[in-house]
Chains A and B, each alone.
Chain A
Amino acid sequence: MTSSLVVEIGNYPVRFSTDDPALLGCLRTRFGDFVTEAPSSAPVDFSVRLLTPGLLPGGRDIQVTHVNGCWRFARDLFHSEWFPKHGRGSVRTSPLNFSRDAALAVPGPMAASVDSTLRVLHTLLLAPGGGFLLHAASAVRNGKAFVFSGVSGAGKSTISRLAPPDVTLLTDEISYICPQGETYRAFGTPFVGDLSRNGANISAPLKEINLLAQGSSNKRELLPPPKAAAGLLRNVLFFAVDPEYVPLVFETACRVASTVPIYRLTFVPTEEVWEMIS
């Protein structure tokens, strides 16, 4: 019997269906508060199927291609397809070390495949409307969202770990940003970094973006829009080399750089850094 659950991030619900209850349990554990019984709109439908180990060719890096109306996302652990016109797709995943019992306790390779599929899918869902995913931690304080962007090792998880109790973490790894009128709004995501815990499933108006650098003192420098755009583009998450979508992402980054304050935040990894964030 096929059963399903819906994972809603931002305002985009995605339903995953499978005939394997153990897989569904694994997904429910992995996505936690982002699993909803009441999606805000009609979900995109994905079927999930396990394949015999070794059937999936592909490297460690995700390859994203767009052919004849079908998006394909593939790497060694999974092959996914999405047909936007039909609102449905599939995830075929190789179990590798997948164990049914273990999968219920800890997210397994199958959940990682769905996680990767969701990351790519959301970059594509967001791009036409001017939204984007960013390599960044983000958090809500006093009702406003603050984003801390940087590549691996820049300090996303560190600054998240140092957050005081009045701060609610949206993510320590991948931030989710959507336009809202003339401004932007940041949403929580289940895309985890070194903290290994999902962000809160809430959203808040975006107040500022900080491009992270670690240094010997805490300081912030407001960047002029050209530098801000270049800094932002280095950290935007986008996988598809596509002549239609890449200019959309570029335009979005330039628009954000013109409307949202973007700082270079140099910080010492101590709690004092949060005194500059309010």
Chain B
Amino acid sequence: MNDIYVARSSAIAARALEEEMVIMSMRDSTLFTLNEVAAEIWRAADGKTPLSEIVRNNICAKFATDPDAAYADAEIFCRQLSDCGILMLSDRPIELGG
């Protein structure tokens, strides 16, 4: 499995409300509401931690779920957010400015 690295875009505004995360793209003001599981991935997306490790430590450890299925779902989710410009994806660690 080729792992991927994920990092939150700087061109967003985000705020946790209860267990969910509300995110607004600064590019086009599109709104996203992430559920509790998706919010876990979002919070852990620091550019340094591989997605597989995020899924293992932040998803499988907290939510009863099959690791392979969880990783497949997480990868689809991350690619969708990447397409929307609010998450960055790479096959190597992502250097974040600032």
The residues of A with any CB-CB pair to B shorter than 8 Å are 224-227, 229-230, 233-234, 241, 243, 246-247, 250-251, 254, 257-258
Q: Which residues of B contact A224 (CB under 8 A)?
A: 17-18, 20
Q: List 29 A-B contacts (CB under 8 A).
A: A224-B18, A224-B20, A225-B17, A225-B18, A226-B18, A226-B21, A226-B22, A226-B33, A227-B33, A229-B15, A229-B17, A229-B22, A230-B22, A230-B31, A233-B24, A233-B31, A241-B29, A243-B26, A246-B13, A246-B26, A246-B29, A247-B13, A247-B26, A250-B24, A251-B13, A254-B15, A254-B17, A254-B22, A258-B17
- Tell me the B18-56 residues at the A interface (CB within 8 Å): 18, 20-22, 24, 26, 29, 31, 33
Q: How far is the CB of A260 from chain B (nearest CB, A)?
A: 13
Does B26 contact A226, Cβ atoms closer than 8 Å? no
Using CB atoms, name the residue of chain B closest to A236.
B29
The residues of B with any CB-CB pair to A shorter than 8 Å are 13, 15, 17-18, 20-22, 24, 26, 29, 31, 33
Does B17 contact A226, Cβ atoms closer than 8 Å? yes
Using CB atoms, name the residue of chain B closest to A247.
B13
Q: How far is the CB of B97 from chain A (nearest CB, A)?
A: 15
Does A234 contact B17, Cβ atoms closer than 8 Å? no
Q: How far is the CB of B27 from chain A (nearest CB, A)?
A: 9
Give Cα distance in the complex from A143 to B33, angstroms. 35
Does A251 contact B26, Cβ atoms closer than 8 Å? no
Other CB < 8 Å A-B pairs besides A226-B17, A233-B31, A247-B13, 10 of them?
Answer: A226-B22, A226-B33, A227-B33, A229-B15, A230-B31, A233-B24, A234-B31, A254-B17, A257-B17, A258-B17
Using CB atoms, name the residue of chain B closest to A227.
B33
Does B20 contact A226, Cβ atoms closer than 8 Å? yes
Q: Which residues of A contact B17 (CB under 8 A)?
A: 224-226, 229, 254, 257-258
Does A246 contact B22, Cβ atoms closer than 8 Å? no
Using CB atoms, name the residue of chain B closest to A248.
B13
Q: Which residues of B contact A230 (CB under 8 A)?
A: 22, 31, 33
